[in-house]
Amino acid sequence: MSKILLGCIADDFTGATDLASNLVREGMRVVQTIGVPQGPLDGDADAVVVALKSRTIPASEAVQQSLEAARWLKAQGAQQYYFKYCSTFDSTPAGNIGPVTDALMAELNAGFTIACPAFPENGRVVFKGHLFVGDVLLQESGMRNHPLTPMTDSNLVRVLQAQTSRNVGLIDHTVVEQGSAAIKARIDALAAKGITIAVVDATTNEDLRKLGPALEQLSLVTAGSGVAIGLPKNFGLEPRNLASSLPPAEGRRAIVSGSCSVATNAQVADFKQRGGAAYPIDPFQLLENPSSVEKALRWAADADHSLPVLIYATADPDAVKAVQQKIGVAEAGELVEHALSSIARGLVQQGVGELIVAGGETSGACVKALDIMQMRIGPQIAPGVPWCYAQSPHAARGGLHITLKSGNFGATDFFTSAFTALEVAA
Ligand code: ADP
């Protein structure tokens, strides 16, 4: 096995896939691991993304897990490291972006690093240090009401400064637009003033590509997934099909949907409208009838094996609220996740070889139920959503193609077009 080039640590699961997908598009062969692996990497890759679930856990635990990931990546030969967080900079004054950045800088002997959540393709841009979400400032976006990480200040220099004892500065757009030499000079000037972390402005992919070469000498980069598009070139890599090639897909096709987002509701409706075979899961039925999961699996076994099947708990906000009021929010979530992940495992045991999972938490539960430890990242279906190939002890052929779609991603016809995208890639 050859050494890896870029070692990445992501603070949540679907965010890890998003980063991996951007690296694949730019020519890297990427493997995503679920947590820190126990042994060495299985197979060759240019980059590895270790997916943690460390965004909202206590800061000391996030630091511990991130350091463990960095040490494992170091053992795989990583030449540069990337700490990936959300493009809305999800954090609180207690962390976890600042404390994890501090700990990784110390571990990796990084004298200087950047912080840049910009992802212009998804409407996240940084201008004069202020983060915009679509057309509004972060503090005016829905993120201000986030239950765990409410973002009430758009000034990222201020937000990050509250989380670290290091001095935080800014590399603004007037420098970025001049290109990588100017950015490098600005890094040197800030470092000479004792500033060791700089928020960087970026409003377009072109800005991110100018930033890339300026980051070559940094041992650690901290960012959303956008900055990744400028890094593979530093290692002499160019976009190439080989990077996203996966083994040929085989087996039945299925969709398991536990997301109740606006986008997923539309995707379920679209699949049904096209005449797709669909089976609803009712949370009240799950409570009352312990054999609901077996019933759903029997339905799938009896369905036409040449066509995809959809099993969904996806419901509109009123229906979800009714369930939550009766059972409790966390309890309802767990009940449905447990049922859907058992169904995903049962479907794979039945011979499903191409599986779409909709929902971030639902994806985490399904990957766990399938005992998937790592995934090779393949072609992109929609921004942030690639097909992946994973080994699972539950798969008849040992492995399966799987895509994990977080709530609001994907076009309305995603449940149809995703399978077509895999055929085209073959
Ligand atoms: P998203 O990516 O859209 O946020 P998630 O899977 O992360 O999707 O979250 C959706 C949550 O809603 C999960 O915990 C899931 O189990 C739960 N859920 C799904 N369907 C229902 C339903 N009909 N009633 C109540 N909760 C549901």
pLDDT of amino acid 241: 81
pLDDT of amino acid 43: 82
pLDDT at 2 over 80: no
pLDDT at 83 over 70: yes
> Of 260, 314, 338, 403, which is best to mutate to test ligand 1, by the most ligand atoms within 8 angstroms of its C-beta?
260
pLDDT at 66 over 80: yes
pLDDT of amino acid 424: 75
The stretch 74-90 carries a mean pLDDT of 96
**Domain 245-425, what architecture?**
3-Layer(aba) Sandwich (3.40)
pLDDT at 392 over 80: yes
Is the Cβ atom of 361 under 6 angstroms away from ligand 1? yes
Is the Cβ atom of 261 under 6 angstroms away from ligand 1? yes
Among the residue ranges 50-54, 269-273, 339-343, the one predicted with the least confidence is 50-54
Rounded to the nearest 10 degrees, the angle between the axes of helix 329-349 and helix 317-327 is 110
Q: How far is the CA of 332 from the centre of ligand 1 (A)?
A: 8
For 138, residues 6+ apart whose C-beta sits below 8 A from its C-beta are 88, 89, 130, 131, 132, 144, 151, 153, 154
Is the Cβ atom of 357 under 6 angstroms away from ligand 1? no
pLDDT at 425 over 80: no
Number of residues that this document lists for the chain: 426
- pLDDT-derived band at 289, boundaries 50, 70, 90: very high
pLDDT of amino acid 3: 87
pLDDT of amino acid 122: 85
User: CA 382, 272, 319 angle in degrees (round to 5)?
Assistant: 90
- pLDDT-derived band at 135, boundaries 50, 70, 90: very high
What does the domain layout of the chain look like in residue ranges? 6-240, 245-425
pLDDT of amino acid 407: 80
**Following DSSP, what letter does each residue of 238-249 receive, concatenated?**
---GGGG--PPP
- Per DSSP bridges, beta strands 130-133 and 136-137 are antiparallel
Q: How far is the CA of 53 from the centre of ligand 1 (A)?
A: 17
pLDDT at 147 over 90: no
Q: How far is the CA of 378 from the centre of ligand 1 (A)?
A: 26
**Which tens digits make up the pLDDT trace of 8-18?**
999 988 889 99
pLDDT of amino acid 243: 83
pLDDT at 265 over 90: yes
pLDDT at 1 over 70: no
pLDDT of amino acid 307: 97
pLDDT of amino acid 101: 98
- Give the CATH fold of the 6-240 domain: Rossmann fold (3.40.50)
pLDDT of amino acid 154: 98
**Residue 128 to residues 113, 172, 201, 272, 426, Cα–Cα distance (Å):** 18, 5, 6, 46, 44
Is 28 strand, coil or helix? Answer: coil
- pLDDT-derived band at 409, boundaries 50, 70, 90: confident
From the DSSP assignment, how many helices (H) and strands (E) are in the chain? 14, 18
Contact 252, 277 (CB under 8 A): no
- Tell me the sheet residues that pair with 115: 199, 222
pLDDT at 266 over 90: yes
pLDDT at 426 over 70: no
Q: Whose CA is nearest to atom 10 of ligand 1?
A: 259
Tokens of 392: 């699972």
Ligand 1 atom with the shortest distance to the CA of 324:
25
Number of CB atoms found within 10 A of residue 187's CB: 24
pLDDT of amino acid 42: 81
pLDDT at 408 over 80: no
> Of 259, 282, 324, 404, which is best to mutate to test ligand 1, by the most ligand atoms within 8 angstroms of its C-beta?
259
pLDDT of amino acid 262: 87
Most confident of 201-205, 326-330, 407-411: 201-205
Name the nearest CA neighbour of 220 among 66, 381, 64, 402: 66
- pLDDT-derived band at 144, boundaries 50, 70, 90: confident
Q: What is the pTM of this model?
A: 0.89
Residue with tokens 């539960």: 365
Contact 223, 84 (CB under 8 A): yes
Contact 272, 312 (CB under 8 A): no
Q: Whose CA is nearest to atom 6 of ligand 1?
A: 359
The stretch 111-140 carries a mean pLDDT of 96
- pLDDT-derived band at 329, boundaries 50, 70, 90: confident
Q: Whose CA is nearest to atom 20 of ligand 1?
A: 313
Average pLDDT taken over every residue of the chain: 95
pLDDT at 89 over 80: yes
Contact 199, 169 (CB under 8 A): yes
Tokens of 85: 């967080």
88, 91, 92, 97 alpha-carbon torsion, rounded to 10°: -130
pLDDT at 233 over 80: yes
Contact 212, 80 (CB under 8 A): no
Cα–Cα dist 426/421, whole Å: 9
Name the nearest CA neighbour of 349 among 418, 293, 289, 291: 293
User: CA 71, 389, 358 angle in degrees (round to 5)?
Assistant: 95
Q: How far is the CA of 319 from the centre of ligand 1 (A)?
A: 12
Alpha helices for 203-351 (secondary structure H): 205-214, 262-273, 283-288, 292-302, 317-327, 329-349
Cα–Cα dist 209/213, whole Å: 8
